[in-house]
Amino acid sequence: MELNRRTVIAGAAAAGAASVAGTAWGGTAHASSRGRGRPVRELFGRLADGTRVDRWTLENGGTRMGVLSYGGIVHSLEVPDRRGRYANISLGLRTLEEYVASSPYFGALIGRYGNRIGKGTFTLDGTRYQLSVNDGENSLHGGAQGFDKRVWDVEPFTRGSDVGLHLYYTSVDGEMGYPGTLRTKVTYTLTRHGDWRVDYEAVTDRPTVVNLTSHVYWNLAGEGSGSIVDHELSIAASRYTPVDAGLIPTGELAKVAGTPFDFRRAKPVGRDIRTAHQQLLYGQGFDHNWVLDKGITARPEHAATLRDPASGRTLRIATNEPGLQFYSGNFLDGTLVGSGGRVYRQGDGLCLETQHFPDSPNRPSFPSTVLRPGETYRTTTVHSFGT
């Protein structure tokens, strides 16, 4: 067990409204250089109880990102287009107060359980657990006060040619209804090539379930630039998990062939999104888990590629996880103003969340998400940017 920092410091709870004393971040984004820089910390704001929230800036290999200690949120991620012009390609908000009040998980670390658990319940070793319900009758992304709404303890590092942050949070036994005290460490690394690598680790003192992920909304043309329907997406998956009206998997692993869910060859996101397919009606677009052909792997392997033809920017995602949730930003409704000062509307960003499958604790046929004492949960996802 390699979790340290006093074996993971408990992050402060972050319920309630925020009193902001930091900077509102926005405007045109650009990286100052292509070299490596040491992580820089500055005050972003304070929660209502006075808890300090920092914004950390990382830069390496032509990529620059801003990370908040609140929710481990990727507040900005800047990369160049084919002409070398930088833009922030991650949707976000301007102030801490906005994140606390109304963020749809922009850029956040998600836990204990990414995605949905049907009716907010599951049974483990004969004991039934009732979780926090926050999505109709279901539990979504860890419940009403998931990891996205906690203040993480942050430790910066430089290691060889890499630069990054270790983020620590301890979720106590019973938090949001989950059993066991879960000590979590997530490492964000910017490599010398400008890749963003995310390493997740967790240990527990009682049997529990865990499914950690990142909820960045991508727009490779730049946040606030408009719709992502012309982005070209490929997903290395021959099957997906159909859902019911509550977006809970039915248990079937359906073939994508002959359906709008076939992204085995790159196609524009918007090509089939208005097809009268029942699954698209349920999700008001794409909001489904793809079953990656590679399955669970020892090391990260290719899962998806996203490309913006206009800017030439590309994003390649590799993971050792068995699933990928593609969400096409269906519930962005024009009520949120982004970090660049422009309104976000439906389809202005998309998510590619590496994960185990939704509702796995209630689906024995799905890959298990159970973590037991003495085991260490480990997964890795790598985001590679190019033109």
For position 4, what pLDDT does the model report?
A: 61
The token pair at 10 is: 């408990």
Cα(386)–Cα(307) distance, integer angstroms: 9
For position 1, what pLDDT does the model report?
A: 52
DSSP helix/strand/coil, 186 = strand
Active site residue: 97, 232, 353, 356, which one?
Answer: 353
The token pair at 290 is: 């793809």
Cα(65)–Cα(72) distance, integer angstroms: 12
For position 159, what pLDDT does the model report?
A: 94
For position 2, what pLDDT does the model report?
A: 56
CA atoms within 13 A on the CB side of 41: 11
One digit per residue, the tens of pLDDT, for the chain of length 387 reads 556 654 444 433 333 333 333 333 333 333 444 567 889 999 999 999 999 999 999 999 999 999 999 999 999 999 999 999 999 999 999 999 999 999 999 999 999 999 999 999 999 999 999 999 999 999 999 999 999 999 999 999 999 999 999 999 999 999 999 999 999 999 999 999 999 999 999 999 999 999 999 999 999 999 999 999 999 999 999 999 999 999 999 999 999 999 999 999 999 999 999 999 999 999 999 999 999 999 999 999 999 999 999 999 999 999 999 999 999 999 999 999 999 999 999 999 999 999 999 999 999 999 999 999 999 999 999 999 999
Domain assignments of the chain as residue spans, ordered by start: 1-387
Nearest Cα to Cα of residue 385 among 108, 196, 106, 189: 196
Q: Cα dist. 227→217, 267, 285, 329 in Å? A: 12, 15, 13, 9
The token pair at 89 is: 């390609």
Cα(21)–Cα(68) distance, integer angstroms: 14
The token pair at 97 is: 């107060």
For position 36, what pLDDT does the model report?
A: 76
Cα(346)–Cα(332) distance, integer angstroms: 4
Q: Which CATH fold topology does 1-387 show? A: Beta-galactosidase; Chain A, domain 5 (2.70.98)
Structural contact between residues 70 and 19, judged by C-beta atoms closer than 8 angstroms: no
Active site residue 2: no
Structural contact between residues 22 and 125, judged by C-beta atoms closer than 8 angstroms: no
The token pair at 359 is: 């509702």
Contacts of residue 330, defined as CB under 8 A and 6 or more positions apart, other chains included, come to 283, 284, 285, 286, 287, 346, 347
Q: Cα dist. 257→62, 146, 263, 307 in Å? A: 38, 36, 9, 22
For position 3, what pLDDT does the model report?
A: 66
Contacts of residue 359, defined as CB under 8 A and 6 or more positions apart, other chains included, come to 115, 116, 117, 118, 248, 249, 366
For position 37, what pLDDT does the model report?
A: 80
Active site residue 353: yes
CA atoms within 13 A on the CB side of 363: 20
Question: Rounded to the nearest 5°, which phi and psi values hold at 118?
Answer: -60, 130
The token pair at 57 is: 């800036």
Active site residue: 75, 215, 231, 288, which one?
Answer: 215
Structural contact between residues 27 and 340, judged by C-beta atoms closer than 8 angstroms: yes
Structural contact between residues 230 and 328, judged by C-beta atoms closer than 8 angstroms: no
pTM as predicted: 0.92
> In 76-115, which positions are buried (b, 16+ CB within 10 angstroms) versus exposed (e)?
bbbbbbeeeebbbbbbbbbbbbbbbeebbbbbbbbbbbbb
CA-angle at 175, arms to 105 and 102, nearest 5°: 25
Q: Is 148 left (phi over 0), alpha (psi -120 to 50) or beta?
A: alpha
Contacts of residue 216, defined as CB under 8 A and 6 or more positions apart, other chains included, come to 74, 77, 90, 91, 106, 107, 351
The token pair at 240 is: 């997906």
